[in-house]
Structure 1
């Protein structure tokens, strides 16, 4: 099968699972939650580097074939789809490699106000009060302040993804990058999906935004975070009050560089 690959990346709790669930309504497409390929890709890059004593026998052409083979073999014949969207936060750090391996491939990075990302994770932690989460290495201690700090640092769930997003946003492969705002996807899904289809060069498809289906309960339960990948049946904006202390919320409220055209010198598409 002449299969085409695209990539979903960006910030956590920003609509990537919802986007995948919507895309999966198209019978020509396959899309899902974050999977193992991002980590496998990084591991293979390392194993094929100079630290391997046999790297003298490995050419760049061989590296490309082996790395591309990860996708071809993982998405084998059991995936009956012409177009595959692989999801992982690391893809924003692999723009150059992805462009060389998949010249027609595009990266859709989901973004959201960082304060509301931290809030969304904190709300999950509180809802699952008797199940320590893998997000915090299953540690039951800490406060909302230490949790926010852990999420936002350079190696944290949010901080790493945020830095990776900025790497892609200010890099030189931005013609392959689109930022999709959570606020747009939930308030105007038809416009959001029209932009996605136009960006990847696929014919439009009539999606049903009132009948979304996605299931990852087993994964979320094992992660100690039921609801982590939950997707509601109907796409809609749901207003609520933040559970974060005001000072924690204010700390992150200006981290939305993609909203200011002055911070978008390469004119990355932001929808």
Structure 2
């Protein structure tokens, strides 16, 4: 069986990565593509054992590459190879934007799909998800930061918050020396022109052309994963691809400063 072709998915949260993965899985050569996996943090932690401390002398470059590559391949297990086609794995993690060089070293020729979206809409999406489950107390925001809307937004935008970290990671990759490995997919472009967006993406990922069905998108919701974060419905995908127009759930004059002097505002 041929080794799978590996690509990655990263970028900003609440920006359509689950929807995009669900659409990509319609292509018969895509064996795996889903919500965030533990592969990237496993590789990062294992790598630190190999390059520092008492065991670093036991790993040469070839051994390190083989072991780290094996983490991903063994996590996804034995993949069915479509006839005369090389199976494709698309691993999803926000960390990949901070490890573009590592991804390319382990899987040469791989690309990183970066899903992006208007930051105000991302914050709005987080707030709607939190408000949707008021009795659970979503673990997306620590309990001590849930007091009011503004404290929640401050945490979401913080350097270690769910948007702040990803924003910095994406900028690191986008303005880095390996930016040519990125494929940036804008959420609004995806939902307003899914056919055109998927045609470009399919070609960029070297997948065989496929007629994707944007009227019947199916994705098995990771119920246990979402409930563990007290955020059921976090990865629900609507069956029909299309834009949903709605007013923001955050105050109209909300302005929050982020690192580096940038201001995210909604007028």
User: Given the two structures, how large is their TM-score scaled by the length of structure 1?
Assistant: 0.88
Shift of 1:62: 1.6
Gaps of 5+ in 1: 257-271
Among 34, 37, 44, the alignment partner of 1:35 is: 37
Among 92, 95, 98, the alignment partner of 2:97 is: 92
Structure 1 match to 2:47: 45
Among 201, 204, 212, the alignment partner of 1:207 is: 212
Structure 1 match to 2:183: 178
Among 202, 217, 223, the alignment partner of 2:223 is: 217
Structure 2 match to 1:237: 243
Gaps of 5+ in 2: none
Secondary structure in 1 aligned to 2:8?
A: strand
The answer to whether the 8 A contact 1:113-1:255 is kept is no
What value does the CA root-mean-square deviation take over the aligned residues?
A: 2.0
The separation in 2 between residues aligned to 1:149 and 1:139, in whole angstroms, is 12
The answer to whether the 8 A contact 2:111-2:181 is kept is yes
Matched, 1:9 2:5: no
Aligned positions of 1:116-265 closer than 5 A: 116-137=121-142, 141-214=146-219, 215-248=221-254
Number of matched residues?
A: 255
Structure 2 match to 1:83: 88
Shift of 1:121: 0.3
Which shows bigger deviation, 53-62 or 142-151?
53-62
Shift of 1:246: 2.1
The separation in 2 between residues aligned to 1:56 and 1:227, in whole angstroms, is 46
Secondary structure in 1 aligned to 2:163?
A: helix
Structure 2 match to 1:267: none
